């Protein structure tokens, strides 16, 4: 199965993915950001801007890679990557249509919690993630999927909540 973990920048997607991978044992964390960097950085002048979702090839490449990894590895694949656009749900739908069991988990937190977590990971006030907290909170909140509140919860509690919901 694929578990796509979305939510605001800095909410704890990668932390949860790593904890789930450790708990599940036979899981792989897919780096959709590396795919995004490969796509975006190979365009001269970044014509679609900075957000990976705005590059049509990013979603298509993620789907193709995830389908292939799913078909060849037999592992649970965890994808910690913010989705902001409702249109990006097409990635999840494409995987499901191809017969790949896929769950979308959306982590939520207050703006203050996200702010504090971004600082805790070593970024500074005024960084790109910090300047786009509200964009990432509202964009993620609009997506259909399992919404999980993270304020005041440990990563172990979040793992328990996610695993209870997806079986």
pLDDT score of 54? 95
Question: Which band of pLDDT confidence, cut at 50, 70 and 90, is reported for residue 155?
Answer: very high
CB atoms under 10 Å from CB of 69, counted, come to 16
User: Which pTM was predicted?
Assistant: 0.95
**Mean of pLDDT values over 109-121:** 94
Residue for token pair 């999980």: 148
Nearest to 86, CA basis, from 61, 106, 109: 106
Helices within the chain (DSSP H only)? 13-24, 32-40, 56-73, 89-97, 111-120, 128-131, 133-141, 155-166
Are 12 and 150 contacting, i.e. CB atoms less than 8 angstroms apart? yes
Mean pLDDT, the chain, integer: 95
Whether the pLDDT of residue 140 is over 90: the answer is no
Which CATH number does the domain 2-166 belong to among 3.50.50.60, 3.40.50.300, 3.40.605.10, 3.30.56.10? Answer: 3.40.50.300
What residues form DSSP beta bridges with 105?
A: 5, 146
Q: For residue 165, is it left (φ>0), alpha (ψ between -120 and 50) or beta?
A: alpha
Kindly state the percentage of the chain with pLDDT values over 90: 93
Whether the pLDDT of residue 111 is over 90: the answer is yes
**Mean of pLDDT values over 147-167:** 95
Q: For residue 65, is it left (φ>0), alpha (ψ between -120 and 50) or beta?
A: alpha
Query: What residues does each domain of the chain span?
Result: 2-166
Q: Residue 39: CB partners within 8 Å, gap ≥ 6?
A: 52, 55, 57, 58, 61
pLDDT score of 23? 96
Q: What phi and psi values does residue 80 have, to the nearest 5 degrees?
A: -85, 100
Nearest to 5, CA basis, from 120, 167, 139, 148: 148
pLDDT score of 35? 98
How far apart (Å, rounded) are the C-alpha atoms in residues 96 and 118? 32
Question: Which band of pLDDT confidence, cut at 50, 70 and 90, is reported for residue 167?
Answer: confident
pLDDT score of 8? 94
**Mean of pLDDT values over 106-115:** 95
pLDDT in tens, 65-77: 999 999 999 999 9
């Amino acid at each position: 199965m694929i578990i796509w973990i979305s939510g605001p920048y800095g909410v704890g997607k990668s932390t949860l993915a790593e904890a789930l991978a450790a708990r599940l044992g036979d899981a792989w964390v897919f780096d959709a950001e590396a795919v995004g960097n490969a796509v975006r950085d190979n365009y001269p002048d970044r014509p679609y801007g900075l957000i990976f979702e705005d590059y049509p090839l990013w979603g298509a490449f993620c789907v193709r890679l995830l389908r292939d990894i799913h078909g060849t590895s037999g592992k649970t694949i965890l994808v910690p990557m913010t989705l902001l656009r409702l249109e990006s749900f097409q990635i999840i739908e494409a995987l499901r249509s191809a017969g790949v069991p896929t769950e979308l988990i959306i982590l939520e937190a207050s703006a203050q919690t996200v702010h504090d977590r971004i600082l805790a990971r070593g970024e500074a006030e005024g960084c790109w993630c910090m300047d786009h907290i509200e964009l990432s909170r509202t964009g993620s909140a609009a997506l259909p999927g399992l919404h999980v509140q993270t304020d005041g919860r440990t990563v172990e509690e979040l793992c328990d909540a996610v695993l209870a919901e997806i079986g």
